[in-house]
Amino acid sequence: MPFLKRTENDASQAAQLEKKASPTPGNGELAPPTQRITFLAIFLGLVASIGGFMFGYVSGQISGFFAMRDYASRFGAAQANETYTFSPAVQGSIVSFLCLGALFGSLAAGKLADLIGRRMTISTSAFSCCIGTIIEISSSDHWVQFAIGRLITGVGIGALSVTVPMYQSESTPAIIRGVVVACYQLFVTLGIWTAYMIDFGTHEIRNSASWRIPNGISFLWALVLGVGMLFLPESPRFAYRQGRVDEARATIARLGGVDIDDRSVYDQITEIRVKLDEERAGRDTKWWEMFTGPAMLRRVMIGVVLQAGQQLTGANFFFYYGTTIFSQVGLQDSYVTQIILGSVNVVCTFGGLYVVQKCSRRWALIIGALWSVICFLIYSLVGSLALGDDNKAAGTVLIVFSCLFIVAFATTWGPLVWSVVAELFPARYRAPGMALATASNWLFNFLISFFTQFITRDIGYWYGMVFGGSCLFLAGFVFFFVIESKDRSLEEIDTMYVLGVNPITSASWDPATAAKRASVSSPETSRGGSAWTGEDKEEESKPIRTLEG
């Protein structure tokens, strides 16, 4: 297949072009300036991240609803002592239907993002969440109606979970791309914390306002995101693929804080064009070549495992059922404990932004996973062997190590997974690749949220060992399969996977050295020839712009 045969030559040509387009002061030309951190780039990242806030808010609020008397009396089962309880099936369904809807939404989001664009997909998905919220608020006596409302809300949330990181990674300069994409997870934690605070403020209300007020506030976040996205530019990479080259060039310049004729803009456009030319060489390929294309099966596997792994770390076990869990350790007000966990989550996610910007992606994920193993080991042993009605010390240990786990998750697996997966796929397969990977996140989110009540009923706190074992596996997986992508362009990351760079030594990989080796081993490139089409040669022959224009 031509697309597969030309991959290495195209990769080396991309690196050579990048080198040609980046003169140094020693050859008589000015060095290209580094793009700046601009207000527009930060504003774009923050507005889009409201999609994460919506995800966190609707996920966090449900935990408090089950402890509200009016909500329990409407949707729970009455007991002889005039209390109300939820069966594992009912509680699991109400919680997990959001994740089930998100699973479908994430699978559809990739195709929609390629059809109408990243920006409009985010705006449309935000407005669609309002429909589910209306169904939830209007529920009166039947839990099924409330669960269906969460299902519909989940469709929009799932679409946002794919398109927001995709839009952020394709739009923001490489210098802040990791932090901006990680802001999605920061806003998830802010949404969870906000939901906890609002639940705490309304849970003592004796009528339906106790849960309808938190539900209704969801409209505000959806409106801000849906309207705000209409004032932001489209992803420059999507615009370029649609033939809107001038728009793409102008957006890159505005987001990078440089002039439209700046060399750094030209370099990025060149990288995007080279990768698009590679894709056009394979325009006759079929959909399944998302798995058979250059290094694609490996990348799909990595994306799916990382996104599923974010759930298998066990974070949502605490966020969904924390109020129920901590009410069993003798705490008089489990809402307070939830607020403590939520606050730790928010504060430490700010630390996670520092980790994303300054630290190795690989080692941060590995250390975070091993840290989580220790926390769950102690959580399971203390909860199963030491916890009793009169043992407050054991209850305190559970809360402390739950907080320590949240620290590990919030600084590593929470923000980093979104950054790594957003950088993983080439432009041709980015939308469906991210959709498939994110769908695995929602699938395991659904499984954990639905079956947790059944599992804990049978094995109790030993459930933590399941998450501990998963974290141990994830540490090994990252070590052997995930390359270091910090501070590299999306096109350069694609080249690393295509050339099969060893993940263990990937942090020291040099594209200039790789291009030189490829040029020596390729007869075509060593003779000065090219594996490109005639159109590509004509494009290469155009003079490189200088800073003077």
Distance, CA of 105 to CA of 58 (rounded, Å): 15
pLDDT tens-digit map of 236-277? 988 988 889 999 999 988 888 888 888 888 888 888 888 777
pLDDT of residue 543: 39
Mean pLDDT value across the chain: 80
Question: Domain 35-232 has what CATH class?
Answer: mainly alpha
Please tell me if the domain spanning 35-232 has the same topology as the one spanning 289-507. yes
Mean pLDDT of 83-109: 88
Q: Are 432 and 110 in contact (CB under 8 A)?
A: yes
Short-list 65, 74, 35, 49, CA closest to 268: 35
pLDDT tens-digit map of 152-200? 999 999 999 889 988 988 888 878 887 888 788 889 889 989 998 999 8
Residue 18 reports pLDDT greater than 80: no
Give 475's Cβ-side CA count (13 Å radius): 18
Residue 531 reports pLDDT greater than 50: no
Domain-wise residue ranges, the chain: 35-232, 244-278, 289-507
Mean pLDDT of 357-384: 90
pLDDT tens-digit map of 214-226? 999 998 999 999 9
Distance, CA of 248 to CA of 353 (rounded, Å): 28
pLDDT of residue 370: 96
Residue 29 reports pLDDT greater than 70: no
Of the pLDDT bands very low, low, confident and very high (cuts 50, 70, 90), residue 454 is confident
Instruction: List, in order, residues 6 or more apart from 476 with CB less than 8 Å away.
Output: none
Superfamily for domain range 289-507? MFS general substrate transporter like domains (1.20.1250.20)
pLDDT of residue 542: 42
Short-list 98, 103, 76, CA closest to 147: 98
pLDDT of residue 281: 63
Q: Could you give the residue ranges of the DSSP H alpha helices within 172-202?
A: 174-202
Mean pLDDT of 291-316: 88
Q: pTM for the whole thing?
A: 0.72
Give 514's Cβ-side CA count (13 Å radius): 24
Q: Burial code of 407-419, b = ≥16 C-beta within 10 A, e = fewer? A: bbbbbbbbbbbbb
Q: Are 307 and 421 in contact (CB under 8 A)?
A: yes
Of the pLDDT bands very low, low, confident and very high (cuts 50, 70, 90), residue 374 is very high
pLDDT of residue 155: 94
